[in-house]
Structure 1
C-alpha cells in the first residue's frame, strides 16, 4: 500500500508540471502605422452578425463582405450565424508597446464572465487571460474569477502586418488558432501557401504545431495604389473577399487568383458624391474596349481613393495586344444558417471562403483589363519590414518528451521500492 500511495502522489505531481505553452507569432515594430489584417474566429454560440461585429469593434457590413456574404439580403445585420461557424474578421493592426496588436477592440463584461471564459470561449483562444489582465491595469481584475458586470475591457488581439507583403507580393495576414485536428501541411493547402512559407513567417523550427497555437497565415491579396492623402490609403483585399470604403459608397473586390483590385459603386450606396469620371460618360468601374488593327483600345474609370470626403476617380486609356476578358468577382453566398460539414473534418483547416456554405451563390462579371494569376508564396515573407522573417515565437518551456522521461523514472522508482 505505501508504494501504491507513493505512486498516486507522484502521478499527481507530474500532472501539475508546466505544460507546453501555446506559440504565437510576434512582430516587433517601432512606428505608428496601421495595416489591414484578419483574425480567424469560431463562434462559441449562435450570434447575430451585429453581435459578432460588436465583439471585434468592426462594421457589420465589412464583416459580411470580408467573408463574401451577400449584403443585399433584408436586415442582414440581424441574421443569426450558427455556433461553431468559422469567419474571418477584419481588424486594424497597430504598433502597441513595440509589438503588433489589434487597436480599438473592446468588450463589456456580462454576468458570470471571468478572464478565462472571455479568453477561451468569447474570443476563442485568440487572447489569453493574462494578456487581457495586462492590457487593463486600471480595471478591477485582482480576482480574475470575479469581474464587475459592465466593466469595459481592452482586448489585445494578435495580428501581423509584415508590410502587407509575402515574397514581394501583396498579402494580408490572418491570425489563426490551431485546433487539435490541424496539421501545418493541411493549413498550407487550405490557404494556398506552402509549409516552408508558414514556417518562415512563424519562425518555426519544425512543422509541429499544437492545439491553441496561433499562426500568422499569409493570404494572397490585391493591393491599391491610392495616394497617401486618401483616407483609405493602403487598402489591401484578400483573394475571394470584398471590402467596403468611402463611407459605404464604394465596394472593392479581389477575384480568385487575381492581383488586380477592382472597385465599383456599392449596392448600399446612398448620398454619395459623384462617381462619374471627369470629361467622360463613364461611371466608376466602367471599362470600354475597342478593337483596332494595332490592338485593343481600353478605357477605364477607376477608383483612386476617398479624398476630403469625396470619391476620387481616374480616367485612363491605353492600348494592349488583345481585348481583356470578363472581370471575375468572388462568389457571393447567402447568409449562412448551418455550419458546413467540412469544418469538422481533419486538417486542412476551415475553408478559404471563410467556412461558409455555398448556398445560393451569386456572382457576376464585367469587362476588365485582365487578371494576373497569383502563384502561391514560397520561402517566407521576403520584402517585408526589417526583422519580419525573424518573427519571434513564444516557445514552450517543457515538451512532452521530458515529461515522459520523468514519468519513466517515477515508475522505475516505485517498482524498486515494492520489490
Structure 2
C-alpha cells in the first residue's frame, strides 16, 4: 500500500495532544476556603524575592507595613534606616496580610500593582508575585478582555490566596501560611520544616494523596499565640506565629510568641515615640511588667498586660494570681540582623525548599484520607476532608503555558505521528 501524506486531521491530533499534555504539566492547585460573612483574619504569604529589593519596596508590592514584615520574620527593627535595607534576591519571607471573605471565598484583594513597560500578566504572576497568583486570576479580577495589551501605569488588583479556618488547627491557635511548592519539595519535607504533620497538611488542603507538584499552593498551619482583645479594638483577632513578633498600636506595642508557646506577650516597642500611657491603672507597673512574691501558699504573680488598641488608646489590664511556683524569665524569639545574602544554612534560605529525609513517607490510614468525589468534573478537584477538618477545596490556580513556547513539542509530536501513522 502506498504511503499517504499526513492529513489535516493528523495534524490536529498532534496539536490537541500537545495542548492536553500541557494542561497536565502546568495546572497547579491551591486551597479554597468557602466563607459566608464579611469578617477577616490575619494570614501569611510565603514570598520569594524575584530581585534585590528594599524592605519598603517589598512592603509596597503588598501594601503592608514594612515594620510588620520585619517583625513577622523576627528581624531586628532597631537597626538604623532598616526600612531602606536591601534584601537579596531569592530571599524567602513571610508576608503578613489580612484575609477577607470576597464573593464567598477567602482571599486578599487589598494588593494593587501598577504596571510597568514590558510587563505581562505572566511576568507579574510568575516573577513579581512568585507564583502566588496566576495570570488568569489577575485577568478575571480586573476584567481584562485582551491580556496581550497592558497599559503602562494601569492599576491592577492582585488577588492573593489565603485561609483563616477560624484561626485554629486541631482546636489550637494557628495562623495559615500560603506556601508555593518548589520543584524539590515533598509533603514530608514541608511538614517537617513547619513543625506539622503530613496528615494535618492533607486534611487542611483536602488532599486525596501525598502527591504535590511545583506551583501548587498549600495552606500550612503554623502554631501561634492568639489574643483575646475586645471586638471594638482595632487589633482584635491579632495572632502571632511561634518564634516571631507583631507590631501594633501605631508601632507603640510589640507582641511576641515564644517557640512552643501559646501565650502572647506584649511590651512597649523599640519604635515607641508618641504613645498613650502604658501604665496599668492603680499600680506602678508598666505594660509587660511582672512581679512575683513567694509565700508558703505559693507564688503571687501580678502582671500588667496589653488588652488591645481602641480610639488611639492603649488598653492595659492588671491581673493577679496565685500559682504553685513562680514563673521563670520571659523567653523571647531570637532576633536576627537584616539579611544581606541567602545561604543554605540561613533561616532566610529560599522558601525553604525542604528535602525528604529519606525515610518512607507514611500515608494516613484509609479512614483519615479525604475521598475524591464522584461528582461530574467542573474544572476543579472536589474532595471531602475528614470529620473535624477545615472545609476547603483544591482547585486550578494557573493557565496554559504560552503557545509559542509549546510549539517545539507540537512539531515533535507531529513528525512522530507522520512517521508512524498509516495515513
Sort the TM-score into its range (normalised by shorter chain): 0.7 to 0.9
C-alpha distance in structure 2 between counterparts of 1:130 and 1:144, whole Å? 9
C-alpha distance in structure 2 between counterparts of 1:4 and 1:249, whole Å? 78
The equivalent residue for 2:392 is 391
The equivalent residue for 1:192 is 195
In the TM superposition, residue 58 of structure 1 has moved relative to its aligned partner by 0.3
Q: Does 1:292 align with 2:295?
A: yes
Equivalent pair of 1:181/1:346 in contact (CA under 8 Å): no
Equivalent pair of 1:36/1:91 in contact (CA under 8 Å): yes
> For residues 190-246 of structure 1, what are the alpha-carbon distances to aligned partners after superposition, in whole Å with 9 as ceiling and x for unaligned?
000000000010010000001100000000000001111111111100111110111
In the TM superposition, residue 14 of structure 1 has moved relative to its aligned partner by 3.0
The equivalent residue for 1:98 is 104
Q: When the two structures are aligned, how many residues end up with a matched partner?
A: 372
In the TM superposition, residue 412 of structure 1 has moved relative to its aligned partner by 9.7
The equivalent residue for 2:59 is 53
Equivalent pair of 1:28/1:387 in contact (CA under 8 Å): no
C-alpha distance in structure 1 between counterparts of 2:3 and 2:177, whole Å? 54
In the TM superposition, residue 279 of structure 1 has moved relative to its aligned partner by 1.0
Report the TM-score when normalising by structure 1.
0.83
C-alpha distance in structure 1 between counterparts of 2:199 and 2:64, whole Å? 32
The equivalent residue for 1:68 is 74
1:8-157 to 2 correspondence within 5 Å? Answer: 13-17=16-20, 18-20=22-24, 21-137=27-143, 141-157=144-160
Classify the secondary structure of the residue corresponding to 2:29: coil
Q: Does 1:332 align with 2:331?
A: no
Classify the secondary structure of the residue corresponding to 2:390: helix
RMSD over equivalenced CA pairs, Å: 2.9
C-alpha distance in structure 1 between counterparts of 2:56 and 2:397, whole Å? 37
Report the TM-score when normalising by structure 2.
0.82
The 1:153–1:325 alpha-carbon spacing in structure 2 relative to 1, beyond 3 Å, is same
In the TM superposition, residue 267 of structure 1 has moved relative to its aligned partner by 0.3
Segments of 5+ residues of structure 2 without an aligned counterpart are: 356-367, 370-384, 399-411
Q: Does 1:239 align with 2:242?
A: yes
Q: Does 1:230 align with 2:233?
A: yes
Equivalent pair of 1:295/1:319 in contact (CA under 8 Å): yes
> For residues 311-360 of structure 1, what are the alpha-carbon distances to aligned partners after superposition, in whole Å with 9 as ceiling and x for unaligned?
010111111001111211111000000012253699517xxxxxxxxxxx
C-alpha distance in structure 1 between counterparts of 2:336 and 2:107, whole Å? 31
